[in-house]
Structures are given as structure tokens and as C-alpha cells.
Amino acid sequence: MPKRIELRIGEVVSVSGIGVTLAYTKGKVAAIVASEFDDEGTADSSTSLLTAASMWRRRFDMKPQSGKDSGNSGSV
């Protein structure tokens, strides 16, 4: 059974060795930000992860949420 993870804005947790933080929540929609690894296998630091989450939060606040994932999807 999957483990339940409680996450708040400003906290970084490790999921299978990858840093994850909460970027935004509104209604029943949540967005998380995950660390990336560079060519040497080094993950982003917690500070840079929180900075990325802050930038995403500002972007989400500027757009009205429609409930659709328009960022990664499009018609074929």
C-alpha cells in the first residue's frame, strides 16, 4: 500500500531519493515541484527547489484555474 505523505508549502520531503515540495493548492487541485538531476547525478538543492516552487506559485496565481491541465496537454 502506498505511504501517505503530508506536505505543506515551504517543506521539502524526499520521495524515493527525489526532493519534492508543494507549489500550489486551490480547491481540489495541487501542484508539486520535484528536483532534477544534472549530468553528474547531483540533485537540485532544497533552496533551489523552494525557489522554483515560489516561481510556479506566482504563475498559478496569475492564471484563473479552469480545472484542466493545459500546460502539458494539447490536441493531437
24 phi and psi angles, rounded to 5 deg: -160, 145
Mean pLDDT of 53-71: 73
Q: Is residue 72 part of a domain?
A: no
Residue 6 belongs to some domain of the structure: no
Contacts of residue 39, defined as CB under 8 A and 6 or more positions apart, other chains included, come to none
Whole-structure pTM over 0.75, yes or no?
A: no
Q: Tell me if 46 is assigned to some domain.
A: yes
Residue 35 falls within a domain, yes or no?
yes
Sign of the dihedral through C-alpha 7, 23, 47, 3? positive
pLDDT given at position 71: 59
Is residue 50 one of the residues assigned to a domain? Answer: yes
User: How many domains would you assign to the chain?
Assistant: 1
Is the pLDDT at 68 greater than 70? The verdict is no
Range(s) of the domain holding residue 43: 12-62
Residue 7 lies in a domain: no
pLDDT over threshold 60, residue 47: yes
Distance (Å, whole) CA 19 – CA 26: 22
Is a pLDDT exceeding 80 seen at residue 63?
Answer: no
